Structure 1
């Protein structure tokens, strides 16, 4: 006679049998921050089949050691969950690694010098592209004109992207190839900067960028593959095991899937589909897809744009810029379009994530989301506003009320704080990078870098979150310090909260039994060292599914 075990007893027996099996890896002798509120700090954990099977004491973990179990001695160092950049640009980073690096240039002359150096090794007539210039760091914050660049590069078409990706500078050869003249009309949501005679100066803002950028030859698929592999290595070096790719074409998503199938991706990649009608029809028809190819790829979100950026004065404001009184910024998409895509996303089960930086841009998105949710009510939609940098006080509570996640990048605050007051004036600053004000309403804030706009290193955003200071510890006490995050929230923002913002919290985001064994070994305890030492922390190793993908 077969004995039927009570269901709860049977489950307990299966769990006991599973825990008795030897682990593949035991990690011990470390201060382990799990980002799991049920066991926030442990001294050991065990891994089997790429997932965590135990967290707790070293004594308990030792019971899972078998003849083939590997051990990792943390040597008293610190371990945190693998970090996730909740808003970056995979293609942008891949391209930047092979472009002229203009980050940190202190003058237009320095920008030109770097381009001229690249021109020496570039065949005549071949495009030269670069990224990272920022006129706000040059003393004179007005946009440059192409004249000096054109004179220095007479034999190459040149296109240089501003650090935020929302403005570009083209030389004369590039404008000639694109047919850009005084007669060229501005596209909706874009601006062609012109001189007093109406002649283009070479600077193109937001939707006008494509006038020239569309003429730059694309890399081949094999080149893209190699470039993306290089980008993943950079992410691993800084402790990132995953990222949310903020806007990808169908061709790129096809490449990501091919790389994942061939086990070449080596990343937890959460993809936001770019705003293209044909692509959205295709993916909405397929439905949301999650944790494909052993947790390498998620395709279940859409990326829209509401406005531009603060640095190029393209962010849409309710009132004019304080330093440009005839300018309220640019709306890149019609509010009706955002609502339409949001309604379609709700029906198809897709998350909608919209770039909005200015207070008007944010209000437009929240209004569109609210109208969409009124028509297609849904729980757990997890719609997001990407950046949410400048908010009107009336709109701060609306995120929690609508169930919308503000996806923010702390490093933007420390990059912008030197000049943002001139753009906004004193009153609007109190809605700028308002992390604590948002947290107090009950929302979470997934953190990112917006790379390649900012550096890949996620500890820059961790430091900015807890200090609101730059790498030189300026300003003393922090910039609007009441909006700082606690260290616990800052850690969650780049681990568990980032996972939740991508519907990944059951698989990743914390060192918890059942989740992927993604973790990072650090040489310092970022949760306890003085704030000024956080940015001196080194990543010693990065593990993905219990497998080391980077070691110093």
Structure 2
């Protein structure tokens, strides 16, 4: 018998009310998978959690029911149930902000990008600045960066600023250059580069620290805009099954909003946040020391995010030897060794986990050398310091991650997105230490997987797909790109669950479905462990639960 919509709604209300009144809830008839403390894959049919949202039993239906007397029962009808997935490196407010700007991720050429900006500018005539995200000159086969004059063709009456796909360069128009006072005489800032033409004039591309020249004149988001960005991001995260994310670099304003959202029950994804740099915001936020847990583990602020270098696509990543496709440059280290160690040491002395962005082999070596020196002074292994990206690492430096107990925090979709230019940038020898997941796993490193959203899509199933196949979502290239570095499916599952939790020192409360942990889980429309590898990235999320509360239902 098929129930009418009103009856279905009434039934759903009854189930919700009964579950709320009961001492807890049992999820029944699940095709469940989780890892246990021994990293073994465990199957289960039922999952019980109490009224606080903590798991009390996992296993067979009869055994779980016996441990959960009086609990309400919810039948998921054989659907697959997994632990909530964790993204170990993203930018939450950035994810929310991209919906409000010009969208260039899908631009297939320079002409297409200019048209998209022009259309956006016409549709938003009252905006003082025209801002957008996602351009990538590599996919346009341009052979160069775009110019301010080309962006003037889209919008000339107002300043315009477009963020590159990797977030490490901006493309601005002539009005923006003039407002920022950037001229032929403006010197490159330390750790940054102003792209110039043959006559020394700024072309409209600002790389890494040079972007700060523009940040001084771009209006900061209002409180209302920040709330809208957070709302938008949380809406996306719960729909893709992310029950926890590590926000890589926040300030005082974001911290204030996270606490308010946690207090008000609006933080539908857990956030493990990193303070951006060790400057004024760090001094303010660290006054009372690291915040290890807030509002039942919904929020934590006990890490610091620093930058060693830029990105590979904009040739800002610092390399030991010159770029293979641009022998005139090594990329950019943001700071000399002394300044970097001072920043890292300040955070370590205050008891914070240090997480440093390092993409090039010179950036990674600088940070490994710094850890080697500083860990003798601040030998707190419990902090589990990290290198974010660990993207191109000299083969001789990879074992140092294990020796120093440094976690490589890596993003599988970066490899499949960068395959069109990475080997041209670094050549056939250095590529052996790039995106080298198998090499890291073989030595026992815990890889914390993420996406670096919004630079890549936040969908963790796309990340698992990339980790297993070494292919993009079009399943290119055939056979996988440097497939020798691929993960097994179980390893990829672990790096988006238990190992990501481990990298936040939260493996005792989230990351798997075991008694005593939070009931963070998702219900999916396909079985991760039975679908063809090519289909992993297309798995959809039907329900997302955080702390025993359903925060999303498709």
The question of a shared fold, defined as TM-score above 0.5 by the shorter chain, is answered with yes
Show CA shifts across 1:511-542 (max 9, x none): 01111100011111112211111122111111
1:456 to 2:424 alignment? no
Equivalent position of 1:35 in the other structure? 35
Q: Are 1:52 and 2:55 an aligned pair?
A: yes
RMSD between superposed Cα atoms in Å: 1.6
Alignment of 1:405-416 (within 5 A): 405-416=407-418
Alignment equivalent of 1:245, drawn from 233, 244, 247: 247
Of residues 34-43 and 70-79 in structure 1, the stretch that sits farther from structure 2 once superposed is: 34-43
Distance 2:160 2:517 in 1: 47
Q: Would you say the 8 A contact 2:318–2:361 is kept in 1?
A: yes
Deviation at 1:144, TM superposition (A): 0.6
Q: Which residue of 2 aligns with 1:25?
A: 25
Does the Cα contact within 8 Å between 1:124 and 1:155 map onto a contact in 2? no
Partner Cα separation in structure 1 for residue 127 and residue 411 of structure 2: 38
Q: Which residue of 1 aligns with 2:550?
A: 548
Runs (5+) with no aligned partner, structure 2: 1-20
| Corresponding position of 2:4 | none
The Cα of 1:419 is off from its aligned counterpart by 1.5
1:154-186 CA-to-partner distances (Å, cap 9, x unmatched) read 222110000000000001111121112112111
1:16-36 deviation digits (Å, cap 9, x = unpaired): xxxxx9752111212211122
C-alpha distance in structure 2 between counterparts of 1:471 and 1:229, whole Å: 27
SS for the counterpart of 2:513 is coil
Contact 1:46 1:54 in 2 (8 A): yes
Tell me the equivalent position of 2:83.
Answer: 81
What is the alpha-carbon distance in structure 1 between the residues aligned to residue 363 and residue 117 of structure 2? 35
Q: Which residue of 2 aligns with 1:355?
A: 357
| Equivalent pair of 2:278/2:343 in contact (CA under 8 Å) | no
8 Å Cα contact 1:125-1:155 kept in structure 2? no
Change (3 A) 1:107 1:504: same
Question: More displaced, 271-280 or 85-94?
Answer: 271-280
1:93 and 1:444 map into 2 onto residues whose CA distance is 26
Distance 1:345 1:153 in 2: 43
SS in structure 2 of the partner of residue 394 of structure 1: coil
Change (3 A) 1:124 1:262: closer
Q: Deviations over 1:380-421 (max 9, x none)?
A: 220000000001010010001001000000000000012111
For residues 463-498 of structure 1, what are the alpha-carbon distances to aligned partners after superposition, in whole Å with 9 as ceiling and x for unaligned?
A: 011110112222222111111111111111111111
Residues 202-250 of structure 1: CA distance to partner in whole angstroms, max 9, x if unpaired? 0000000121233121221122112201110100010001110101112
Name the structure 1 match of 2:101: 99
Aligned length: 531
Deviations 1:248-287 (A, max 9, x none): 1122212222222222222210010011422323343311
Q: CA 1:154–1:341 in 2, change beyond 3 Å: closer, same or farther?
A: closer
Q: Is the 8 A contact 1:466 1:487 kept in 2?
A: yes
Paired residue secondary structure (1:55): strand
1:4 matched to which residue of 2? none
Specify the SS of the correspondent of 1:208: helix
Aligned partners of 2:94 and 2:229 also within 8 Å: no
Q: Equivalent residue for 1:193? A: 195
Q: Compared with structure 1, are the counterparts of its residues 474 and 152 closer, same or farther at alpha carbon in structure 2 (3 Å cutoff)?
A: closer
Q: CA deviation at 1:504?
A: 1.0
TM-score, with structure 2 as normaliser: 0.93
Against the structure 1 CA distance between its residues 288 and 29, is the aligned structure 2 distance closer, same or farther, given a 3 Å change threshold?
same
| Contact 1:381-1:403 at 8 Å conserved across structures | no
Could you tell me the TM-score, scaled by structure 1's length?
0.93
Partner of 1:319: 321
1:229·1:265 contact (CA, 8 Å) conserved in 2?
Answer: no
